[in-house]
Amino acid sequence: MKLSLGFSPCPNDTFIFDALIHHKIDTEGLEFEVFFDDVETLNQKALKAELDITKLSFHAFAHVADKYALLDAGSALGFGVGPLLICKDESLIASEELNKENSSLTVAIPGQLTTANFLLGIAFPNLVHKQVMVFSEIQDALLNNSIDLGLIIHENRFTYTGKGLHKIVDLGSYWEELTGCAIPLGGIVINRNLDREIQLKVNRLIRKSVEFAFKNPKSGIDFISRHAQEMDEAVMYKHIDLYVNKYSVDLDTEGRRAIDILFKMAHEKGIIPQITKNLYVTS
């Protein structure tokens, strides 16, 4: 049986899925047709239910929970891993314009349905002039003065200072102080129309793929390097160390609690609809 599988070219995703798609583990009769896309493209594909299995942001998942269920394996949650709001002009770091009603500041975001944008809305509700960009283009837009602020994710958090850009706030730290939970960034979901046995098998295989990667961290280096935005190996493994952790093996109670709090807060603020479906495959 062949299933369509979408994930990003970022090091954390390629690290997780390398063993699965290259048959370094027994895939129990399943084959995977892989689609590499940035997170916003994957979010949009999920809205149309184009893929059997896909990575998406948790914000987007809230809008497609009727079509997809969340696997326990493969998620990106953690502490100190949140999106960063950055700028080129240092004077903006403490600017009143950040919190001013009808602020004129323009901010580039990596997608409307990203968890990053959700957190930005909580922390800075008056920043309403938003431009959606591919995450890897945001720093250049700041350097070219096309925007005032940039919301960066993934490996860009390791490179912005070297380009003379400045942090305004770490929205992951903001979330952690607000809730005491790890920040849920992205998860792996599977189409609800697939048989439950297939859903559980896919979850099992992704968990095995992550475990293989942890035991053999250099096994996928060529694959990871080929798809990474930043080719420096040290940067790639910093990225992996931040985003791939115990929650990537199994969400467990702690990870699910963080997701449930995120969705409850988002619903209370009118950002997402109320979810009536059971979110998880294994519950």
Does the annotation list 215 as a binding residue?
no
Active site residues: 154
Does the annotation list 56 as a binding residue?
yes
Q: Give 49-53 contacts, CB < 8 A, sequence gap 24+.
A: 49/191, 50/4, 50/6, 51/4, 51/5, 51/6, 51/191, 52/3, 52/4, 52/5, 52/190, 52/191, 52/194, 53/3, 53/4, 53/5, 53/6, 53/188, 53/189, 53/190, 53/191, 53/202
Cα–Cα distances in Å, from 104 out to 72, 130, 133?
A: 41, 10, 19
Does the annotation list 55 as a binding residue?
yes
d(C-alpha 44, C-alpha 155), whole Å: 22
The answer for residues whose C-beta is within 8 angstroms of residue 167's C-beta and 6 or more apart is 84, 85, 86, 93, 160, 161
Does the annotation list 269 as a binding residue?
no
Cα radius of gyration rounded to whole Å, the chain = 18
CB of 219 within 8 A of CB of 24?
A: yes
Does the annotation list 208 as a binding residue?
no
SS3 201: helix
Residue ranges for the binding site for substrate? Answer: 55-57, 115-116
Residue ranges for the binding site? Answer: 55-57, 115-116
